[in-house]
Structure 1
Amino acid sequence: MDDEATELRRILAEELLYPVFQPIIDFRVRAILGYEALIRGPEGSALHRPDQLFAAAHRAGFALELEHACREASLRAFAGQRLPGRLFLNATPGCLLDPQMMNGHTRELLNELGIAPNRIVIELTENQQITDMPGIQEALLHYRGRGFQIAIDDLGEGFANLRMWSELRPEFVKIDKHFVHGIADDRIKYHFVRAMQDLAEICNASLVAEGIERPEDFACIRDMGIACGQGYFIAHPEVYPARQLAPGVVAALAQQRLSLSPMAASAGKMPTARNLLRPIEPVPFDATNATVIERFEADPELDVLPVVQDGQPLGMINRHSMIDRFARPFRKELFGRKSCDLFMDHAPLVVDQNATIQELALMLSMAPKHYLFDGFIVTGEGQYLGVGSSHDLMATITEMQISAARYANPLTQLPGNVPINEHIDRMLTAGSDFVAAYIDIDNFKPYNDTFGYRRGDDVIQSLGRLICEAAEERLDFVGHIGGDDFFVVFQSSDWELRCWQLVRSFAEAMDAQLSPEVRARGGYMAENRRGEIAFHPLPTLSIGAVKAVRGEYESHREVAAAASAAKKQAKKKAKSADSETLLGGSLFIERRRPGSIEAMRQVLRTIN
């Protein structure tokens, strides 16, 4: 124990600690958000590993001294390498309450190193119990007031950090790697993380998925819409970390994915950051403040100036902020010849040219307010291309919303015919196998005429919700053709079971809306189309399903025609091996015979 304490004193006295930095990717903009600093003891020392280092410090009573030393070493290395983006610094709750942390030393160090406080994220770890929550809240209010942001680590590892989330309202929340590793193959983990995502949206926090090690998990996290990710698949912690994403990560980000959200149904045509960029000539890092002022004075329309070195964006200078500072007495004389990095934002919003408008909007909505005025820098493969403005982004989103409203069904807000057709065509182009299911309500018109259109609308809306619940949100596309007709493009392997679950759910929903007498009779007496009083059976579902194997269909027209034919067979409740009936509905699965697809194409050509 004495040897351990002696070694620890030597490490602290000789400043032998060094950090490694692990990149954190922002999925929304396909770029590095920042780096987490992870401390190491000297090579060859028994205290090289962080777990051994901190355990020894705790036993020797040097925990706070070690944390302060780690913080300073990380900040100096981060500044020394001029790493872009944010720096995530680990801190225990007890350290936040230490007077040395709040006495201004950190602020002085940041000023010395030229690091803006808004680039620092204080990452609270749960390795010690919080006994003074009001004190922690007050301390965080102090740090936030100076520009720092807050993150909590390892969400899901214990109940304490759930309480921390609800009471501290951090800007970032890190998901414990247990829930991330294997998420692509584990439905339980997927739904746990989905629940965390719902909470994050309510709390206006960005989730960071830790421990991404497999490409399948990377793709799953990306497609779920999780904001950020970290792990060995993206990059290992390094003393000198990469400033750009590795080619394998770039390729994984660029992989074709078939979006299932109504807004993104035409993802192939969705505008990206490249559509918004303006090719503003940047200023170099060593440009003087006087040069920047001259650029602004020469061009009244210029609101921001990007700062770029060797093609890589380093910062952004806001026109109004710059001119306001130089309007004060003697500022031009004092700072005119100094480097422009003195007044630039060192953590601008940098996005890849392929980032979608949706991703940009989400990023800006959760970012500090000054980004709305400054806009964002657009890059291609890490190289500066231009600048985009929030005004142009909002105009594009408004136009997209108007366009989307034209294609969405007004009753259910589900995608209509155009998005359905586009999605099927994208599935065919991608060569993906899928099942097309045409869903129709039997005996709906007499029900609607008898009980009124409001009750009829309720049935249609209820069916829309039931279909969305039955579908796998990660894989299956749900559309509303119109009236009581719906269309589902299934990619989930258990699609047939989901269809039967839908049939049962719809029958139960109808039962809940009808009187016991009507349910007992299995129908009701009402006028038919000829004006005669007749018995009408209760509404049920007919589902016609068609398996679309790669290369079998050429267009959405062929798929729709085949699904429509299958739906008609389901309505007939054909007594064959391919048709099954159940109280409350029927399902017909069409298995095509050789030559039938070509015959259908001949019919379509004749019609067209």
Structure 2
Amino acid sequence: MKSIKIGDICSENRAVTVPVSTKTKTLVDIFNRNNIQSIVVLKEEQTAGLVMRDKLFYRLGSRFGYNLYMQKNVEAVMDSEPLIIDFEESILKVSKIAMKRPQEKIYDSIIITKNDKYYGILSIKDLLIEVSELKIETAKNANPLTGLPGNLSIESEIKERIRREEKFSVLYLDLDNFKAYNDSYGYRKGDQVINYTAEVLNNCAQKMVTNTFVGHIGGDDFVIITAAEDDQYLAEVIIEEFDRGIRNFFKNKDLLRGYIVCLDRQHQIVNTPLTSISIAIVSNSDRKLKNHLEISDRAAELKKKVKEMPGSNFIKDRRMKTTNGEFELC
């Protein structure tokens, strides 16, 4: 699913803020003059707390509440432990965190920070609307077999990371000798292997600390987009998990032989190695990437090289500048 940072949807939604020295009476005046649901309390540029309109008025409306709180400092009525999220966090992760809060806080606004300083605020309503629209957009372009985002979402994700000037890597993954498996075991079993591959990629992506996107180009071709510093580790984890489970999709006789006996394109009997996975990694960590077409062109070169290697392997694009200013693959 396309990754959108939480900060991207709250940049124009900055809340009313007050210092910690503010009196409760001032909060009431602000709420009465403005059609807002929350006020952020700051200590210099750091978030100190959150005041929700309905909770404040409920407290003041209780017996003795008005007399007890109106002249007190805001610290007496604010939530000193609101949900505070970094600007860079994805909206999908934030929505999961927000929904796991205690029931009494489930509809409280979310405070966004950037570089450890207060940045803005987001209501639960706006967050859920954004998540719903994102899921609808993704579903329209999802691969019908795996449910993973398809080509439009993949292209959009790459463009967005380039726009944000992130250091990222694109892993192009496809299965080796998959046609031989399909011909020998049938398309139903082949679809099971495709779904297994998607499951492996999702599982491994979820283990990453940084935001990682998984997409399905089609057939046995997949894409993963992750932070540049994580690419090789992620490739190793994928290969390890894929190789461990793919054996379950073969008959014992093929496992014992270590290959499938099948017909090639010339209808000759050949021994084809068991299905493995090849990964080509293209990154902008050492060189600027202009667009998704440049990335796919580089990946095509790498895929040829990695698929010449036996078994599951990965190879990373390492281009060195030559004396004439050109780049060459090494």
* TM-score category of the 2 structures, normalised to the smaller one: 0.5 to 0.7
Matched, 1:393 2:130: no
Matched, 1:275 2:8: no
Q: Which residue of 1 aligns with 2:80?
A: 347
Q: Which residue of 1 aligns with 2:260?
A: 523
Q: Which residue of 1 aligns with 2:195?
A: 461
**Bigger relative contact order, structure 1 or 2, given CA contacts below 8 A and separation 6+?**
2
How many residues of Structure 1 are paired with residues of Structure 2 in the alignment?
319
Amino acid at match of 1:502: I
State the SS of the aligned residue for 1:320.
helix
CA offsets, 1:63-90, max 9 Å, x none?
A: xxxxxxxxxxxxxxxxxxxxxxxxxxxx
- Map 1:547-566 to 2 at 5 A: 550-551=286-287, 554-566=290-302
Q: 2:185 aligns with which of 433, 451, 457?
A: 451
Q: Which residue of 1 aligns with 2:54?
A: 320
Q: Is the 8 A contact 1:306 1:315 kept in 2?
A: yes
- Map 1:101-250 to 2 at 5 A: none
Matched, 1:540 2:275: yes
Cα drift, residue 484 of structure 1: 0.6
Amino acid at match of 1:514: F
Gap change, CA 1:556 and 1:325, over 3 Å in 2: closer
Amino acid at match of 2:128: M
State the SS of the aligned residue for 2:106.
helix
Amino acid at match of 2:278: I
Unaligned ranges ≥5, structure 2: none
Cα drift, residue 483 of structure 1: 1.0
Q: Is the 8 A contact 1:273 1:353 kept in 2?
A: no
Which deviates more from structure 2 when the two are superposed, residues 478-487 or residues 468-477? 468-477
Q: Is the 8 A contact 1:443 1:538 kept in 2?
A: yes
Matched, 1:485 2:218: no
Q: Which residue of 2 aligns with 1:364?
A: 98
Gap change, CA 1:297 and 1:451, over 3 Å in 2: same
CA offsets, 1:279-309, max 9 Å, x none?
A: 43759845454x555555556x443445567
Q: Structure 1 CA distance, aligned partners of 2:47 and 2:319? A: 56
State the SS of the aligned residue for 2:107.
helix
State the SS of the aligned residue for 2:11.
helix
- Map 1:402-441 to 2 at 5 A: 402-406=136-140, 409=143, 411-412=145-146, 416-417=150-151, 420-421=154-155, 422-423=157-158, 426=161, 438-441=172-175
**Normalising by the residue count of structure 1, what TM-score does the alignment of the two structures yield?**
0.40
Q: Which residue of 2 aligns with 1:502?
A: 239
**Normalising by the residue count of structure 2, what TM-score does the alignment of the two structures yield?**
0.64
Q: Is the 8 A contact 1:477 1:488 kept in 2?
A: yes
CA offsets, 1:253-278, max 9 Å, x none?
A: xxxxxxxxx653x65xx544633635
Q: Structure 1 CA distance, aligned partners of 2:141 and 2:19? A: 44
Cα drift, residue 504 of structure 1: 11
Cα drift, residue 347 of structure 1: 0.9
Q: Is the 8 A contact 2:84 2:112 kept in 1?
A: yes
Cα drift, residue 420 of structure 1: 5.0
Amino acid at match of 1:513: F
Gap change, CA 1:340 and 1:377, over 3 Å in 2: farther
Q: Structure 2 CA distance, aligned partners of 1:546 and 1:286? A: 54
Amino acid at match of 1:441: L
Q: Structure 1 CA distance, aligned partners of 2:315 and 2:72? A: 73
Cα drift, residue 329 of structure 1: 6.4
Q: Is the 8 A contact 2:51 2:79 kept in 1?
A: no
Cα drift, residue 456 of structure 1: 0.9
Q: Structure 2 CA distance, aligned partners of 1:504 and 1:369? A: 38
State the SS of the aligned residue for 2:16.
coil
Amino acid at match of 1:453: Y
Gap change, CA 1:379 and 1:339, over 3 Å in 2: farther
Q: Structure 2 CA distance, aligned partners of 1:470 and 1:367? A: 26
Amino acid at match of 1:480: H
Q: Structure 2 CA distance, aligned partners of 1:479 and 1:486? A: 6
Q: Structure 1 CA distance, aligned partners of 2:166 and 2:191? A: 37
CA offsets, 1:401-452, max 9 Å, x none?
A: 3344456655445564456554598489869696x66443344345435534
Cα drift, residue 485 of structure 1: 1.5
Cα drift, residue 394 of structure 1: 1.9
Q: Is the 8 A contact 1:417 1:479 kept in 2?
A: yes
Q: Which residue of 1 aligns with 2:107?
A: 373
Gap change, CA 1:354 and 1:438, over 3 Å in 2: closer
Gap change, CA 1:331 and 1:396, over 3 Å in 2: same
**Backbone CA RMSD of aligned residues:** 5.3
Q: Structure 2 CA distance, aligned partners of 1:376 and 1:474? A: 21
CA offsets, 1:363-408, max 9 Å, x none?
A: 5344433333332455677877765322222222222333444566
State the SS of the aligned residue for 1:391.
helix
Cα drift, residue 458 of structure 1: 1.5
Q: Structure 1 CA distance, aligned partners of 2:163 and 2:70? A: 61
Amino acid at match of 1:303: Q
Q: Is the 8 A contact 2:50 2:78 kept in 1?
A: yes
State the SS of the aligned residue for 1:275.
coil
